């Protein structure tokens, strides 16, 4: 059965939105930069540091327009969309810089407009362009993105896919209760609200267990089950996939029919509006991934991250028969996949992290047979919480990182108070990513050990004149150059 996609009116509205955006872009050039990643990937910290560095003349040598002195002014401006919450930059940066604590988790969409006045590099452009670019930064949960593939799945396909995934690896254990409950229920019996609720709660508990810190699995649609917001308790969230659906059509008034309808409601009230109002309007995109965390958690977490990344990239780089391609055209022309928190590693390993992430992306691209053009990979730290040093052990010089562990962190049985600094040897990533992935695919894989310590944000350095410098980072300028440097040419 062909997937029923968005309706014709949806298509028409998307086209209109795009035209309206472009028309306003003529008056005042603007690009929409999507910032996404799964929860805790580092979206809020990335945006805060990027904006702080731009506003405060940060060290950004690889951001060409700034380095060559062509940027004359940078300021925050009111965002164009009145219905989207503003990204509360001031609060987040105050936490980071003044209190030296990480900003709170955000969990929903937000937007911030930053505007740059610049001189074009070419004399020709200088005559015609007004030399002003607004960047509308849109922070949205990666979990919402992982919902987009649902648009192409009917309830049966969704149920089959979810049940099949629930039988793999560690998920088998975590999904046991939900699957047992699901198989004990007669889905063709008359619909009953309490049964629907029990199923839905049990299914959500399984998703939550996957997401748990210990396991860090990534692929968990429907996304709103883990972050319901104001839809909590609504029928659109009170459903669950049903394994082993019989071939016959759902009897009228049955539990199955009710679940089908609610699944469709979820797509209509959650997924489609996100697609239409937010996703379809983006020009550029950065996808943040916490690869180190996945490596730390073990092979299954890495494989799961790879699967999630595959699904995410499929949204940006639709293959031939993808249901998005028709709707989306080719609007997003650049996607950056950035492994964050590289400051947890010594700089010798930054390139290794980048190569490893590159392989992860390659594998994802191969898997869906799409073109990788316009996709770039980097290892970055939006905020650099550590410094590098060496420690002499016997005759050996060990590369270490130095930082202030957060209060309550324990290393080797030693508990830290949030004030004292320490040096740790973070461990090495393999030089050859191939070896890593061979290990990953082998049964009983063992991955390299990385010591990930949660450090406090750094104290800002001061110049001789007592002027505070902006937030230190790793390769944030390279990310900026890729994401919007060309628009300041």
Ligand X SMILES: Nc1nc2c(ncn2[C@@H]2O[C@H](COP(=O)(O)OP(=O)(O)OP(=O)(O)O)[C@@H](O)[C@H]2O)c(=O)[nH]1
> Cα(341)–Cα(392) distance, rounded to whole angstroms?
26
Q: In the complex, what is the shortest distance from the CB of residue 150 to Mg ion, in angstroms, rounded to a whole number?
A: 23
> Cα(215)–Cα(218) distance, rounded to whole angstroms?
9
For residues 42 and 58, which CB has a smaller minimum distance to ligand X in the complex?
42
Whether 151 contacts 3, CB under 8 Å: yes
DSSP calls for 73-125: EEEEE--S-TTSPBP-HHHHHIIIIIS--PPPP--S-EEEEEEEEE--SSHHH
Near Mg ion in 36-65, by CB under 5 A:
43-44
Q: In the complex, what is the shortest distance from the CB of residue 105 to ligand X, in angstroms, rounded to a whole number?
A: 3
For residues 329 and 408, which CB has a smaller minimum distance to ligand X in the complex?
408
Interacting span for ligand X (CB under 6 A) from 43-51, 369-377, 426-434, 435-443 = 43-51
In 9-70, DSSP assigns E strands to 30-37
Those residues whose C-beta lies under 8 Å from the C-beta of residue 359, and which sit 6 or more positions away, are 433, 434, 436, 437
Interacting span for ligand X (CB under 6 A) from 6-14, 177-185, 335-343, 350-358 = 335-343
Helix (H) or strand (E) holding 16: helix 8-27
Q: In the complex, what is the shortest distance from the CB of residue 293 to ligand X, in angstroms, rounded to a whole number?
A: 9
Assigned token pair, 392: 């002499």
> Cα(455)–Cα(470) distance, rounded to whole angstroms?
18
Interacting span for ligand X (CB under 6 A) from 97-105, 168-176, 257-265, 313-321 = 97-105
Q: Is 379 in the site for ligand X (CB under 6 A)?
A: no
Q: What x/- string results for residues 150 through 179 when contact with Mg ion is judged by CB under 5 A? A: ------------------------------
Interacting span for ligand X (CB under 6 A) from 35-43, 204-212, 242-250, 328-336 = 35-43
Among 133, 385, 471, 483, binds ligand X (CB under 6 A): 385
CB under 5 to 8 A by kind: which of ligand X, Mg ion, none does 363 bind?
Answer: none
Near ligand X in 450-469, by CB under 6 A:
454-455
Among 87, 102, 144, 275, binds ligand X (CB under 6 A): 102
**Alpha helices in 288-446, H assignment, sequence order:** 291-297, 299-316, 323-328, 350-368, 433-441
DSSP calls for 224-248: GGT--GGGTTSGGGS----SS--SS
Q: Is 381 in the site for ligand X (CB under 6 A)?
A: yes
Whether 235 contacts 263, CB under 8 Å: no
Binding site for Mg ion (CB under 5 A): 43-44, 106
List contacts with ligand X (CB under 6 A): 37, 39-45, 102-103, 105-107, 141, 340-341, 343-344, 381-383, 385, 454-455
């Amino acid at each position: 059965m062909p997937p029923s996609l968005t309706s014709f009116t949806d298509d028409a509205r998307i086209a209109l939105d795009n035209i309206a955006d472009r028309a306003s872009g003529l008056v005042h050039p603007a690009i929409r930069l999507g910032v996404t990643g799964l929860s805790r990937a580092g979206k809020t910290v990335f945006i805060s540091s990027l904006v702080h560095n731009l506003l405060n003349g940060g060290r950004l040598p690889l951001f060409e327009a700034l380095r060559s002195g062509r940027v004359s002014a940078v300021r925050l401006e009111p965002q164009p969309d009145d219905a989207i919450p503003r990204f509360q930059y001031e609060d987040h940066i105050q936490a980071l810089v003044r209190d030296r604590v990480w900003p709170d988790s955000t969990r929903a969409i937000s937007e911030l407009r930053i505007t740059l006045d610049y001189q074009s590099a070419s004399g020709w452009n200088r005559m015609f362009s007004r030399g002003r670019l607004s960047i509308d930064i849109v922070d949205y949960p990666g979990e919402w993105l992982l919902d987009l593939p649902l648009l192409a799945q009917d309830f049966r396909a969704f149920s089959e896919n979810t049940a099949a995934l629930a039988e793999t690896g560690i998920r088998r254990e975590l999904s046991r209760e939900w699957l047992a409950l699901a198989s004990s229920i007669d889905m063709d019996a008359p619909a009953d609200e309490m049964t629907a609720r029990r199923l839905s709660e049990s299914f959500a508990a399984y998703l939550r267990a996957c997401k748990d810190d210990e396991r860090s699995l990534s692929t968990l649609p429907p996304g709103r089950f883990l972050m319901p917001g104001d839809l909590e308790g609504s029928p659109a969230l009170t459903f669950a996939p049903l394994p082993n659906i019989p071939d016959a059509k759902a009897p009228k008034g049955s539990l199955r029919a009710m679940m089908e309808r609610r699944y469709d409601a979820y797509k209509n009230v959650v997924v489609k509006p996100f697609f239409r109002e937010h996703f379809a309007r983006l020009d550029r995109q950065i996808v943040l991934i916490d690869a180190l965390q996945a490596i730390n958690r073990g092979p299954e977490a890495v494989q799961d991250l790879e699967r999630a990344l595959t699904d995410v990239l499929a949204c940006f780089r639709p293959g031939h028969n993808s249901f998005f391609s028709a709707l989306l055209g080719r609007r997003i022309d650049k996607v950056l996949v950035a492994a964050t928190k590289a400051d947890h590693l010594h700089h010798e390993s930054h390139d290794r992290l980048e190569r490893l992430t590159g392989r992860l992306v390659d594998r994802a691209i191969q898997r869906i047979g799409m073109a990788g053009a316009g996709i770039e990979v980097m290892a970055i730290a939006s905020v650099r919480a550590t410094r590098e040093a060496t420690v002499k052990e016997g005759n050996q010089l060990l590369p270490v990182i130095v930082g202030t562990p957060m209060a309550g962190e324990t290393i080797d049985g030693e508990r830290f108070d949030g004030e004292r600094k320490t040096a740790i040897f973070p461990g090495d990533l393999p030089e050859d990513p191939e070896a890593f992935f061979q290990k990953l695919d082998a049964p009983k894989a063992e991955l390299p050990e990385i010591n990930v310590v949660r450090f406090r944000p750094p104290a800002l350095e001061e110049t001789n004149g007592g002027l505070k410098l902006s937030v230190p980072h790793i390769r944030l300028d390279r990310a900026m150059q890729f994401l919007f440097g060309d628009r300041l040419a």
